A = this chain, B = another copy of it.
Amino acid sequence: MTTREDGRAVDELRPITITRHWLDHAQGSCLVEFGRTKVLCAASATEGVPRWRKGSGLGWVTAEYAMLPQATHDRSQRESVKGRIGGRTHEISRLVGRSLRAAVDYKALGENTITIDCDVLQADGGTRTAAITGAYVALADAVAHLREKGALAGEPLVQSIAAVSVGIIDGTPMLDLPYVEDVRAETDMNVVMTGEGSFIEIQGTAEGAPFVRSELDALLALAEKGCADLTRLQQEALQA
């Protein structure tokens, strides 16, 4: 079996930690760690929905992803200083929001808005998948908060959501890539799945050579395994 720099098996996640209630103000929050990647996820619930949704009886869930300037090896410039959000940030924010919305029954949420912020404190590969995985836990806590307040009619969480990266390095498909593997990957794929094993989002990119169907199949199998593991860790964290 291929050995990885950190000694993991090709289908093994990095050490995953989910620390709930990391913040005092947000209705739900956690610090999620995929190895050295650390993402602070915070979910705030507010009454009301955006204007275009008012009076519909339906809720709304939105997300923003960002990175602290010193999260990366070399300090990056703040987007607030540049005066504009970069394409990568936009893209990931949209992905996180879309993924979390798949977990939610808007009718049961009622006209409440949940905003989820995923701020990368330290980046070592897989920040978007860690963000989605942690965001689900923060969302679950924010929903629980609304439930306790009696602000909900039914159960807005219809399924859990987790995400993981997979990639092909030197011809070998591998699960949950840290930065050193990510930069070498020929193909890189992020997969978002439900706790029951269906797909929410697949984003696969050939970084080097194009990939063929059999490689795609191998990557999907690894992702299924990884998301199942993450789902279990989310459940444990939420029951703690």
Contact = CB atoms under 8 A, between A and B. Distances in A.
Interface string A158-198: 01000000000000000000000000000001000110101
A94 B102 contact: no
A72 to B, nearest CB: 7
Tier of interface size on chain A: 35 or more
A106 to B, nearest CB: 12
A70 B117 contact: yes
Interface stretch (A50-58, A129-137, A207-215): A207-215
B210 A200 contact: yes
Contacts of A89: 80
A90 interface: yes
Contacts of A64: 69, 78, 81
Given A84-B85, A198-B210, 5 more contacts: A40-B121, A75-B117, A80-B80, A91-B94, A202-B204
8 smallest CB-CB distances across A and B, nearest first, come from A198-B210, A87-B90, A79-B80, A42-B70, A80-B80, A202-B204, A44-B75, A26-B70
